[in-house]
Amino acid sequence: MLMQSEPNSFLIDVSKLLDLGIPEACVAGIETSLELLRNHARILDAYVLQVEIEAVNDGEQT
Amino acid sequence: MPLGADASAIVIAEKVRCGATSAQLIVENVLADIQLRNASFNCFTRVLAETARKAAQVIDQKVMEGVDPGPLAGVPFGAKDLFDIAGIPTTAGAKMRLNAPAAKSDAEVVARLKRAGAILIGTLNMDEFAYGFATVNAHFGPTRNPHDPSRLAGGSSGGSAAAVAAGLVPIALGSDTNGSIRVPASLCGIWGIRPADNVIPMSGVFPFAEILDTVGPFARSLAELVLVYDLLSDSKRSSSDLQPRVARLDGWFERNADPEALQAVNAVMKHLGSYAVAKMPEAEAARSASHLMTAAQGGAFHLESLRHQAIDYDPAVRDRLLAGTMLPAGNYLKAIAFRKYYRDKIRELFKRFDILIAPSTPAVAPRIDQATMIVDGKPVPARANLGLYTQPLSVAGIPIVSAPFNRPGRLPFGLQFATWPGREGMLFQLLSQLESDGFLGAHAPTLCSSS
């Protein structure tokens, strides 16, 4: 897994794959798969955030 | 009629063990049947005729000498093409691995079945590197559903499920990372089990996403499934006289389901006299976590290979693996952290219930030429989405059986029965009752209409 400099925006610099020697023709079609991962990352983020908010609220009530 | 692979593994073993038939005759019948019918379904990628014949000779010799040939004596089986088989390359469904170095020894599960007297017939088709729910392989072609060859068999263990459903072999081995046993078991109308984590050994299995990978068997009856499961399992299961507390999963597991699948769940619940509903509000997030963990681990595993051989990958698989290599580490770590939180939640759920029921797939098998399905009102690729209901349960690491709902003459679908590790005996007892009562059961394909 490559570390990205902008983990939250999830903006991918596809040139990193080209730098690794992966042919441009093989990189051209990955946007759909990237968007799928972005969607799943958003769903997980939203759930985790909701749980954290609920935990804070519970703490305030007790 | 000669005894072939359409007979049950239990009947074959009984007759071979007592000398009523020979393993060699069984193997010849199976090889002839595969020669005749495999092209219709494209289940087998390699048929190991000579090694199967030699193994059958050894079994028959043991019977003649009065030596116990094992509980699966003479039972033919197939293995998804990601299990090591001594002497041939493990392709994992990839053309680029056809000339990989041959495996030095059998995967442990293959070895265990052989030690029990079973005879390996060949390797079975799959999505390349197990990344898909369709068994549409760009190099080896699609595996076709025996109930309707114009439809998907499901994946990624589609060759295994279709071979069993078609009666080419009575049992087969597959792997389940996100649903790759349960999805094809459902669409092909047979039994399959994803075991609890660390119950069936993984040595000699080509990895996909190791944090989620498991292996297990397919069969056409519960008795055969349990027989093979017990031979493969490292843990002794206990039986239970307690009445299981059963609940159906709602929410995520009902959203997008075909009404017939929901009616099937409700029919089973009504028969069991239970109206309990289990809430799993984390299911959608769990599915997303499984997507992220799979992409990250798969991408990391293949990165070096992609650098040198990207052009040789199935394009649909390559895209997903490359995207996985680009996933920020923070997202992966968040998914891992969620997994632990989620497992704690599931543990709490199983303090109140013993068995949870949900559809295995939202509907019957999609057509191969229109391999899309509707999720939240939008058409999405079936290849990536047939695991809608299996993925959230994969993350839990619990044992889950996909059981065929009994609907003879119609396209099949399955129901998931999940339990907590250690309660497998209770689960099998309940399933046996439901099979006896006519709610669950596999049927020989009658070539349903594709219209």
Q: Residues B177-204: pLDDT tens digits?
A: 999 999 999 999 999 999 999 999 999 9
Question: For chain B, how are helix, strand and coil distributed in percent, rounded to 5?
Answer: 40, 20, 40
- C-alpha distance from A23 to closest chain B C-alpha (Å): 7
- C-alpha distance from A42 to closest chain B C-alpha (Å): 9
CB contact at 8 A, B126 and B156: yes
**Length of chain A, in residues:** 62
Query: What stretch of H or E contains B375?
Result: strand B372-375
- Across the interface, which of A3, A16, A30 has its CB nearest the CB of B323? A30
Size of interface A-B (CB pairs under 8 A): 105
User: Domain coordinates of chain A in residue numbers?
Assistant: 15-61
CA dihedral B441, B187, B225, B92 (to 10 degrees): 170
Which chain B residue has its CA at the smallest distance from A35's CA?
B323
- Best mutation target among A4, A14, A19, A22 (most B Cβ atoms within 10 Å) is A22
Q: What is the ipTM of this complex?
A: 0.90
pLDDT tens digits for range A20-61: 899 999 998 898 899 999 999 999 999 988 887 777 777 765
Q: Residue for token digits 């399955």?
A: B414
pLDDT at residue B241, rounded to an integer: 77
Residue A34 phi, psi (nearest 5): -65, -40
Please determine, for residue A7, whether its predicted confidence score (pLDDT) is greater than 60.
no
Mean pLDDT in runs of 10 for chain B (451 residues)? Answer: 75 97 97 97 98 98 98 98 98 97 98 98 98 96 97 98 97 98 98 98 98 98 98 86 93 96 98 95 96 97 95 95 93 95 96 98 94 89 92 98 96 98 96 98 77 40
- Across the interface, which of A4, A14, A33 has its CB nearest the CB of B320? A33
pLDDT at residue B242, rounded to an integer: 82
Catalytic site positions of B: 80, 156, 180
- C-alpha distance from B377 to closest chain A C-alpha (Å): 16
Q: Domains in chain B, start-ordered, CATH in brackets?
A: 9-232 (3.90.1300.10), 246-436 (3.90.1300.10)
**Pairing status of strand B214-219 against strand B171-176:** antiparallel
CB contact at 8 A, B395 and B346: no
